Amino acid sequence: MTTSFPKERRPEMTTTGTAAPDRIRLAAAEELYEDIVEVGAALYKKALTDLPPDVRGAIGRARERESGGALRRLDVMVKSIDTSDRTGIIVCQDTGICVYFVRLGTEFAINGAKLVQALREGIARATRRHDLRSSVVHPLTRANRQDNTGVEVPEVHVEFVDGGDELEILLVPKGSGSENMSFLAMLSPADGVAAVKRFILESVVKAGPRPCPPTIVGVGLGGTADLCMALAKRAILRPVAQPHAEPDIAALEHELLDALNETGIGPQGLGGSTTAFAVHIEYAATHISMNPVAVNIQCWRGERARATIAKDGTVSYGY
Amino acid sequence: MATDELPDDPRVLRLTTPLDEPTLRSLRTGDEVWLDGTVWGVRDASLIRLFDEDKRPDVDFTGAVFLHTAPSVRRLADGRYAPVSVGTTTSMRMDRFTHGCVAELGVAAIVGKGGLSEASLAELSEHAAVYLAITGGAASAETLQVEEIEEVVWEDLMPECLWKFRVKGLGPLFVTMDSHGHSTYRDVQQTAARNLEAVYRRLGI
């Protein structure tokens, strides 16, 4: 007994004109930015349909630990990933609010303003092309442009790489279930690292089932209030099971992950020993009288897609 | 998913809508349910119209199943809609409508993710209704369990219309709030709070 659809009603994404460009035409500006739009559109589709291998691996390891209902729920996640691989249906209905992280080599010649415009247009184009739900609205009027863009959205972070000759574009369509579970505390330096640990742990417990666990818990330490939250968001981009390069930070990540998995929140917050797949920490220097900590959570899908454009225009896609 | 793929377990049930009171009262937290029949997609905007604006479509919701969703759809040439992605959204935002759903409309089950409040749990007990948890984020599997969008009420609320889905084997759904006052969410939160105290002691913080 398989669910059957009349052919015209199959819920697959349309495939017309969706080939991800494998080369950017650098010679003429018009073609260059048109190709960047297509790269942005391709990244959006990829992020929504093709989960990163590190996330798939983390679900596999969690399945070995869990039993009963927790295992049943992890099995549904695996089934959904397989279904998307097979049909091209987006994994989650939440098309998210898109955030780009761009690393631009100083030897890669491009107009930064036009790059940002093209990346935003890519999201709108993919939304129209694939009949994606537009999840982005004006914060007061709630007006929806129906193309997943709006004032300042998608947000585009740009980092410059001195001497680099590549353009790297990472896209995260952030779902609201997890983004709504974001927390910032301006703690006192006198409370030390103990207060930092407690804040992180209690934030994740308070979030409970809402961010769709098992999650990737991004933590920002230090900086200013806005930098601290940006660090927490940057922390969720790192592949699962890739610890921080500095041993002290990696040890803290490990300690917090073990602690979270002892809480028993489990997959979907319905019990189990896998509350989080990973805790990732990024830090910045802070003020002598400040001790900021931020938590930004990513749901079990860990959606992200990456394009790396070489100096000759060749594009390679990853996660 | 075919029936023969369901585990041979008395606590795994395949049910057809509408759901009657004896069936609903027999369900307990921990049970797993698969649904056939009709499921109505509801969300913030359609529930506001139903209850805050007191508008009622010409539909009998007795024993009906509500799903917290706002799908991606494609409009077809004949004016009907095909599902692109039917998933589930966080239920707590719609918590204040539980009374209206179960007491005024006679809704039997609310399908969502993340659970509802203690006040809603009391409503479920009083009106013999249950809350069923879907696995959030796993919409592609869910989408293929929707056979057809049979009716769309209040298209002006797109995508938050009232959606009539015909489903075949929608599941697995987990009974996480039953009609006897049990809530898996409350149990897990209480356990987690206790475990967190133990973690603080172990870490010396």
Tell whether A283 and A307 lie within a shared domain: no
Encode pLDDT of A221-279 as tens digits.
Answer: 999 999 999 999 999 999 998 999 999 999 999 999 999 999 999 999 999 999 999 99
- Cβ contact, residue pair B113, A266, below 8 Å: no
Average pLDDT in chain B: 95
- Predicted confidence at residue B5, as pLDDT, reads 65
Encode pLDDT of B102-139 as tens digits.
Answer: 999 999 999 999 999 999 999 999 999 999 999 999 99
User: Does A177 contact chain B (CB < 8 Å)?
Assistant: yes
Q: Which of residues 175-194 of B touch A (CB under 8 A)?
A: 176, 184-185, 187-189, 191-193
Q: Quick one: what percent of chain B has pLDDT higher than 70?
A: 98
Tell whether A236 and A111 lie within a shared domain: no
Q: Structurally, how many domains does chain A consist of?
A: 2
- Predicted confidence at residue B159, as pLDDT, reads 86
Encode pLDDT of A43-55 as tens digits.
Answer: 999 999 999 999 9
User: Does B196 contact chain A (CB < 8 Å)?
Assistant: yes
User: Does B29 contact chain A (CB < 8 Å)?
Assistant: no
Tell whether A232 and A195 lie within a shared domain: yes
In this structure, of A22-36, A77-91, B96-110, the range with the lowest mean pLDDT score is A22-36
d(CA B58, CA B60): 7
Which residue of B4, B147, B199, B202 is the best one to mutate when testing the A interface, meaning the one whose CB has the most A CBs within 10 A? B199
- Cβ contact, residue pair A269, B145, below 8 Å: no
Tell whether A291 and A267 lie within a shared domain: yes
> B147, A9 in Cβ contact below 8 A?
no
- Cβ contact, residue pair A301, B147, below 8 Å: no
Q: Which residues of B6-36 are buried (b: 16+ CB within 10 A; e: fewer)?
A: beeeeeebebebbbeeebbeebebbbbbbbb
> Chain A contacts of B204, Cβ < 8 Å?
194
Q: B75 has which bridge partners?
A: B81
Tell whether A152 and A252 lie within a shared domain: no
Q: Structurally, how many domains does chain B consist of?
A: 1
- Predicted confidence at residue A10, as pLDDT, reads 47
DSSP character at residue B96 = G
CB-CB: which of A2, A263, A301 is closest to B199?
A: A263
- What is the torsional sign of CA B204, A245, A48, A184? positive
> SS in 3 state form for A96-129?
CEEEEEEEEECCCCCCHHHHHHHHHHHHHHHHHH
Of how many residues is chain B composed? 205
User: Does B91 contact chain A (CB < 8 Å)?
Assistant: no
Q: Which two tokens stand for residue B71?
A: 């799908």
Which residue do the tokens 């994740």 mark?
A204
* Beta strands A215-221; A183-187: pairing state: unpaired
> Chain A contacts of B71, Cβ < 8 Å?
93, 133
CB-CB: which of B2, B72, B176 is closest to A132?
A: B72
Q: Is the pLDDT of residue B177 over 90?
A: yes
Average pLDDT value for residue range B38-64: 97
Residues in Cβ contact with A139 at an 8 Å cutoff, skipping those fewer than 6 apart = none
Answer yes or no: is A11 within a domain: no
Q: Is the pLDDT of residue A7 over 60?
A: no
User: Does A2 contact chain B (CB < 8 Å)?
Assistant: yes
**Residue A94 to chain B, least CA–CA distance (Å):** 8
Rounded to an integer, what is the distance from CA B198 to the centroid of its chain?
A: 34
CATH number, domain of B110, equals 3.20.130.10
DSSP, collapsed to helix, strand or coil, labels residue B178 as coil
> Chain B contacts of A131, Cβ < 8 Å?
72-74, 84
Give start and end residues of each alpha helix (H) in chain A: 29-49, 53-65, 68-87, 112-129, 176-179, 192-207, 225-235, 247-261
Reported confidence tier of residue A117, pLDDT bands at 50, 70, 90: very high
Q: Which domain holds residue A238?
A: 176-298
In this structure, of A16-25, A69-78, A266-275, B54-63, the range with the lowest mean pLDDT score is A16-25
Tell whether A211 and A252 lie within a shared domain: yes
Reported confidence tier of residue A29, pLDDT bands at 50, 70, 90: confident
- B101-107: long-range contacts, CB 8 A cutoff, minimum separation 24: B101/B47, B101/B61, B101/B66, B101/B129, B102/B126, B102/B127, B102/B129, B103/B127, B104/B51, B105/B50, B105/B61, B105/B62, B105/B64, B106/B61, B106/B62, B106/B63, B106/B64, B107/B61, B107/B64, B107/B65, B107/B66
Residue of A213, A261, A211 whose CA lies nearest to B196: A261
- Cβ contact, residue pair A5, B113, below 8 Å: no
- Predicted confidence at residue A14, as pLDDT, reads 46
> Chain B contacts of A94, Cβ < 8 Å?
87, 89, 137
Q: B32 has which bridge partners?
A: B12, B174
Residues in Cβ contact with A30 at an 8 Å cutoff, skipping those fewer than 6 apart = none
- Predicted confidence at residue A109, as pLDDT, reads 93
CATH number, domain of A149, equals 3.30.360
> A131, A187 in Cβ contact below 8 A?
no
- What is the torsional sign of CA A145, B111, B185, A269? negative
d(CA A19, CA A6): 26
DSSP, collapsed to helix, strand or coil, labels residue A292 as strand
- Cβ contact, residue pair A132, B84, below 8 Å: yes
Tell whether A169 and A182 lie within a shared domain: no
User: Does A142 contact chain B (CB < 8 Å)?
Assistant: no
Which residue do the tokens 């080939």 mark?
A19
Single pTM value for the model: 0.93
- Cβ contact, residue pair B200, A270, below 8 Å: no
DSSP, collapsed to helix, strand or coil, labels residue A52 as coil
> Chain B contacts of A3, Cβ < 8 Å?
144-145, 147, 168-169
Q: Is the pLDDT of residue A163 over 60?
A: yes
- Predicted confidence at residue A304, as pLDDT, reads 98
- Predicted confidence at residue B6, as pLDDT, reads 74
- Predicted confidence at residue B7, as pLDDT, reads 74
Helix (H) or strand (E) holding B99: helix B98-99
**Residue B178 to chain A, least CA–CA distance (Å):** 14
Encode pLDDT of B147-166 as tens digits.
Answer: 999 999 999 998 899 999 99
Please give the residue that has the higher pLDDT: either A82 or B3.
A82
Measured between alpha carbons, how far is residue B160 from residues A95, A132, A178, B47, B129 in Å? 15, 14, 21, 9, 23
Tell whether A216 and A156 lie within a shared domain: no
Reported confidence tier of residue A18, pLDDT bands at 50, 70, 90: low
Tell whether A186 and A156 lie within a shared domain: no
Reported confidence tier of residue B47, pLDDT bands at 50, 70, 90: very high
Average pLDDT in chain A: 94
Tell whether A251 and A112 lie within a shared domain: no
Rounded to an integer, what is the distance from CA A147 to the centroid of its chain?
A: 19
> Chain A contacts of B16, Cβ < 8 Å?
none
- Cβ contact, residue pair B30, A69, below 8 Å: yes
Burial of A95 (0-12, 13-18, 19+ CB in 10 A): buried
Neighbours of B69 (CB within 10 A): 26
* Beta strands B65-68; B32-42: pairing state: parallel
CB-CB: which of A3, A79, A90 is closest to B147?
A: A3
Helix (H) or strand (E) holding B200: helix B184-203
- Predicted confidence at residue A80, as pLDDT, reads 97
ipTM of the complex: 0.93
Reported confidence tier of residue A6, pLDDT bands at 50, 70, 90: very low
Q: How many CB pairs under 8 A join A and B?
A: 189
Tell whether A100 and A123 lie within a shared domain: yes
Tell whether A313 and A280 lie within a shared domain: no
Burial of B58 (0-12, 13-18, 19+ CB in 10 A): exposed
CB-CB: which of A130, A205, A269 is closest to B196?
A: A205
Neighbours of A137 (CB within 10 A): 14
> Chain B contacts of A276, Cβ < 8 Å?
none
At A277, phi and psi to the nearest 5? -80, -30
Q: Which domain holds residue B27?
A: 3-203
- Predicted confidence at residue B70, as pLDDT, reads 82
* Beta strands A315-318; A183-187: pairing state: unpaired
